[in-house]
Amino acid sequence: MNLTSTLNFVSRPIQIPYWIFSIDAFCFLATVLTSLCIAEIFDPLCYGHALATNPEEAEAIAVIRGLEAAQRCGLSRVLLLTNCKRLVRAFRDRSDDLTWGTLTLAPDLRALSDCFVDFRFEHIDRSCNFEAHCLAGGASSPHFVCFEPIEATNHLTGGKIGDRLVAEAETNLAINVLPGMSESYEVQGRGELQLGILIENMRREGFELSVSPPKVMYKIENGAKLEPLEEVTIEVNEEHVGVVMEVLSHRKAEVVDMGPVPGNVGRTRMSLTCPSRGLVGYRSVFSSDTRGTGFMHRAFLNYENFRGPLGNVRKGVLVSCGNGMITAHALMSLEARGTLFVSPGTETYDGMIVGEHSRDTDLDINPVRMKELSNMRSANKDENVKLSPPRLMTLEEAIGYVASDELIEVTPKFIRLRKKYMDASKRKTMAKRPKE
């Protein structure tokens, strides 16, 4: 059960969700909902605090039980905890006129009929979504490679992943879960940060899944395709303005205002509008381009016409074409090709992303190549291999980094990047098709 039907029932958005309990002309109680608790052995519990017409009643705490969307807003029983004697008397006096549901007052704990009048809920604009696929060791998926023992986790099937996502949607009103194809689920939420928190919680709980790159939610009005637009405010040093402007131009950003920061010599402030899809994964790029000295603030603006496909927002990747243990001898010759994501001794497989290419195209490499042994003596036989530290990505960085033809493997111990199609010939065939 979730509150999707309840949200669809509401037509007038307000700032905060609340229930209004109309007692009489001089006393009413508006309960602001703060959290929802779902337990297998109890009815759903909705917690909140009361907003009343006088300070004496404002300390009341309402616990609303039995949320069922089939009964208008899902309210069936109410437990009101209050020490306000006037409020208790008001409910008792109106008990004969009320016929809907059950309300209990504490410390009296006398059952009364509730006095439900109206229910309104804030409209939630879900601007980002992703697909969660069941691709773990015990699932029916032929192209997932898991090097962890099965005993490391108990959540391997698509059914368990679906139950976990549905349970999250019941308690988190900003999350919406839709079934997909082949044991996959589409999860809608408020941006990559919220979705990243959900995936990280599932990873710590022992789930194994594969995550596709996030996508924004488009709208179609009068035959025109609309996309979410954000207002971006940036403050950087003067020497970083050119780099930031060049990167944002590839992400379809448009400058609204630009000028010096009052009181800060050598600082420039820029106001831009940029599509939400262009800002996915940009925060880490912005921090790197400005050497950590820049400031960026973003906020949703409105929906506007689609601005076209993005430019080159990322370099190509280094894709492994071998299976086995990564060797230092192979990485020594591959460092010049780009930035590595792995270190010697890491297990790899065909299709796994092991680094970022220095060019815009993908490159297939063999990171498991061993050093050839022979009977010939060599001066550099026992050479000391020194490699640069690999670039390690967090889950949030990986969500913003992956492209449309790539996936993120999330396991309790590892976070890997890989191509959607493991076979190299299949990837070449799919690369010829137009991108989204």
Q: What confidence tens digit (pLDDT) does each residue in 180-197 have? A: 777 788 888 877 788 888
Residues 198 and 281 in one domain: no
pLDDT digits (tens, 9 = 90+) for 426-435: 888 877 776 6
Share of the chain above pLDDT 90, in %: 16
| Residue 108: pLDDT band with limits 50, 70, 90 | very low
Instruction: Please list, in sequence order, all residues whose beta carbon lies within 8 angstroms of the beta carbon of residue 156, skipping any fewer than 6 positions away.
Output: 134, 136, 137, 138, 139, 150, 208
More confident residue, 81 or 408: 408
Residues 30 and 117 in one domain: yes
> What's residue 188's pLDDT?
84
Q: What is the arithmetic mean of pLDDT over 21-50?
A: 53
pLDDT digits (tens, 9 = 90+) for 300-351: 888 999 998 888 888 889 999 888 899 888 888 888 888 999 989 889 988 9
pLDDT digits (tens, 9 = 90+) for 157-172: 778 888 888 888 877 7
| 11 lies in some domain | no
Bridge partners of 364, per DSSP, are 319
> What's residue 354's pLDDT?
92
Work out the number of other CB atoms within 10 angstroms of the CB of residue 428.
Answer: 12
| Best mean pLDDT range from 9-18, 27-36, 245-254 | 245-254
Determine the distance from the C-alpha atom of residue 44 to the mean position of all C-alpha atoms in its chain, rounded to a whole number: 25
Residues 137 and 107 in one domain: no
| 14 lies in some domain | no
| 288 lies in some domain | yes
Instruction: Please list, in sequence order, all residues whose beta carbon lies within 8 angstroms of the beta carbon of residue 290, skipping any fewer than 6 positions away.
Output: 236, 237, 240, 243, 244
| Residue 78: pLDDT band with limits 50, 70, 90 | very low
CATH code of 204's domain: 3.30.70.870
The answer to whether the beta carbons of residues 27 and 82 sit under 8 Å apart is no
More confident residue, 246 or 93: 246
Q: How many domains does the chain have?
A: 4
> What's residue 8's pLDDT?
56
Range of the domain at 339: 317-370+386-406+415-432
Q: Which of 52-56, 386-390, 420-424 has the lowest mean pLDDT?
A: 52-56
CATH code of 337's domain: 2.40.50.250
Whether omega before 13 lies within 30 degrees of 0, making that bond cis, reads: no
Work out the number of other CB atoms within 10 angstroms of the CB of residue 417.
Answer: 21
| 312 lies in some domain | no
Q: Which of 30-34, 73-77, 253-257, 415-419 has the lowest mean pLDDT?
A: 73-77
> What's residue 172's pLDDT?
79
Quote the DSSP letter at residue 141. Answer: -
- Exposed/middle/buried for 319, CB within 10 Å: 0-12, 13-18, 19+? buried
pTM flag (> 0.85): no
| Residue 40: pLDDT band with limits 50, 70, 90 | low
> What's residue 272's pLDDT?
93
Look at residues 299, 293, 265, 262 and name the one whose alpha carbon lies nearest to residue 279.
299
> What's residue 34's pLDDT?
61
Euclidean distance between CA atoms 51 and 350, whole angstroms? 60
Euclidean distance between CA atoms 188 and 174, whole angstroms? 8
| 152 lies in some domain | yes
Look at residues 150, 138, 145, 164 and name the one whose alpha carbon lies nearest to residue 38.
164
| pLDDT of 201 higher than 60 | yes
Q: What is the arithmetic mean of pLDDT over 395-422?
A: 88
**183, 216, 249 — which closes off a domain?**
216
| pLDDT of 122 higher than 80 | no
Q: How many helices (H) and strands (E) does the chain have?
A: 10, 26
| 231 lies in some domain | yes
Determine the distance from the C-alpha atom of residue 299 to the mean position of all C-alpha atoms in its chain, rounded to a whole number: 16
Euclidean distance between CA atoms 180 and 187, whole angstroms? 10
Euclidean distance between CA atoms 393 and 106, whole angstroms? 52
| pLDDT of 413 higher than 60 | yes
